[in-house]
Amino acid sequence: MRAIKINSENRTITEVQVINAKDIYAHLGDNVDLFCCPVLYENNDCLYADDEGWFKETKGGYIFPDWSYPIVNNGLILGTDDEGESVDAKTDIEELEAKITWVSVEQMLKFKSENL
């Protein structure tokens, strides 16, 4: 399936392929034991992120307009169908690049100390 990886350390957004949950974990990064989907887009794409990311070492993060907090470390966008199954992502990479704001490790640590 077509997926979109948001790499917070390299500050890149790339198209990747995902076949199963192991691939999701691999794209999210080392030491990810549990992922969640904190964002569902209007086109039914879903952002996967490390559910425990705020409690681990951070390599940076990212935030989009109107979000109240950044996502820690990597993210992965996949599509979903009417039954909740994963399908090809519909999101356009160029649109993501235009909206994303990268958050440094220092900014993440400051946000964490002030809010968690």
Question: Is this structure's pTM higher than 0.85?
Answer: yes
Estimate the share of the chain in helix, then strand, then coil, as percent rounded to the nearest 5: 25, 35, 40
Residue 91 has pLDDT above 80, yes or no: yes
pLDDT in tens, 16-51: 999 999 999 999 998 899 999 988 899 999 999 999
Q: Which residue has the higher pLDDT, 94 or 68?
A: 94
Under a CB-based contact definition with an 8 Å cutoff, are residues 49 and 32 in contact?
Answer: no
